[in-house]
Amino acid sequence: MHPILAKKQLSPNVTRLDVQATRIAEIKKPGQFVIVRAAEGAERIPLTIADADPQAGTISLVIQAVGKSTKELVALEVGEAIRDVSGPLGHPTELIEKGKALCIGGGVGTAVVHPIAKALAAHGVQVVSVIGGRSKEWVIFEEELQKCGEVIVCTDDGSHGRKGFVTDAAKEVLEKGGVDIVYAVGPVPMMRAVANLTRPFGVHTIVSLNPVMVDGTGMCGGCRVDVGGETKFACVDGPEFDGHLVDFELLWDRLGTYREFEQRAASACADGDCRIRK
């Protein structure tokens, strides 16, 4: 069991849980993830490790509550526990050790960008982060990223930072020159747009993919993606890949495979009581 030590609402549907997971906190690296089960028989949910405190033995999980299982997870309170936390899984992020990095986060993807930016800054890399949300209340991890370098905030309605898409601000940063690598995490359309943006600039672009994932060991094949014409498994070959080689159309199509089942499950707890039945 993994006790929840702290809980914080980051945006209307995004929650941060600080969870006791001593061994994972000691060895995790940026870009890696865990798979959690809130209780016996619950769905397995892959979550990126947004932060960790090896001394306290805790990891921070950032969860976007959009379906039945994620709503069950964020319904847990401090003092309760998550049944299983398996990891760290996946390949660590390919980090440069000098130069300038552009980190782009959209929505909950900003939480995934944070450990990458933090590690880059620790190596002495110049970090510029471009993050976005629908409005001010949807922007997360702004203060944490400011500790890593310059932060440009974009909102759809202009209520915070500048009005517009993250790609607009990212283009301006790229046009200034000097960017050695781009890391982008967010909704599939956003990552695809970033990859299309950076391709003419010839800047290596890494994206973190979120296909359907079950076991996290490459056994089920549910997380297969097409990268450079080859089939890869996001859980063991990724989750990060060269954005210029990813078949985003296929990824988007596969993400919709279980949409009908997800909607049914969400409807079943539409009364607001999504707590786990022990």
Q: Give the containing element (helix H, strand E) for 8.
A: strand 2-11
Q: Supply 85's token pair.
A: 């936390």
pLDDT bucket at 278, cuts 50 / 70 / 90: very low
More confident residue, 125 or 224: 125
What pLDDT was estimated at residue 43? 87
Please tell me the number of Cα atoms within 13 Å of 270 on its side-chain side.
Answer: 7
Quickly list H helices, 28-67: none
Model confidence pLDDT, tens digit, residues 4-48: 999 999 999 999 999 999 999 999 999 999 999 988 888 889 998
Buried/exposed 61-94: b ≥16 CB within 10 Å, e otherwise? bbbbbebbbbbbbbbbeeeeebeebbbbbbbebe
- Measured CA to CA in angstroms, residue 91 lies from 80, 182, 198 at distances of 30, 17, 23
Mean pLDDT, the chain, as a whole number? 90
For residues 78 and 8, what is the distance between their CA atoms, to the nearest angstrom?
Answer: 10
41: left (phi over 0), alpha (psi -120 to 50) or beta: left
Structure confidence at residue 213 (pLDDT): 77
> What letter represents residue 7's amino acid?
K
Sequence-ordered list of residues with C-beta below 8 angstroms from that of 204, at least 6 positions apart, any chain: 180, 181, 182, 242
List of domains in the chain: 2-89 (2.40.30.10), 100-255 (3.40.50.80)
Judged against a pLDDT cut of 70, whether residue 112 lies above it is answered with yes
